[in-house]
Amino acid sequence: RDGLGVTSVNMGIGRSEAGKLGIVFAPRSSGASLQEEMKARIGLRADTFGFTAEYSGEYPGWSYREVSPIREVFCESYRELFGKELKTEALHAGLECGLFSDAIPGLDAIAVGPTLYNVHTPEEYLPLDSFERFYVLLKDVLRRLAES
């Protein structure tokens, strides 16, 4: 999708213990090959500066699907409940959807939720009216799926 980042890396944790420096990076990508390329680049930089790179706890890639039946159920439900279109967007993040999609081939995985602001910062907040709408929406979508 236009404007959507496909690969990124975040420095999450830095610590010094017993005279050693440890830095934790979280590389993410929508594609497995791009994820591997990012890990290789991190490893090369580590080698260049005399560090060792280790990898664990990775989130697999999770690609955006243009056609998503489950997303359509959410959109239809939102339209009928609230009289307007649901804002849907592709985003670049490390989410469990990639883990589930890897474990269950063909799974139509989406991430849904209320509006959040300043995520992962001390100023993070959730407007309660957004949460209330999401709760109503989720109950309706689950009802629709149970009846289909």
Please give the single-letter amino acid code of residue 73.
Answer: V
**Burial of 77: CB neighbours in 10 Å, binned 0-12, 13-18, 19+:** buried
CA distances from 14 to 53, 75, 117 (A): 14, 41, 25
Q: What is the pLDDT along the chain (148 residues), one digit of tens a residue?
A: 566 677 888 777 888 888 888 888 888 887 778 888 888 998 999 999 988 888 777 777 777 788 899 999 999 999 999 999 998 887 766 678 888 888 998 889 888 999 999 988 899 999 999 999 999 999 999 999 999 8
Full-model pTM: 0.72
Structure-token pair, residue 15: 């610590």
Reference 24, options 44, 7, 46, 6; nearest CA is: 46
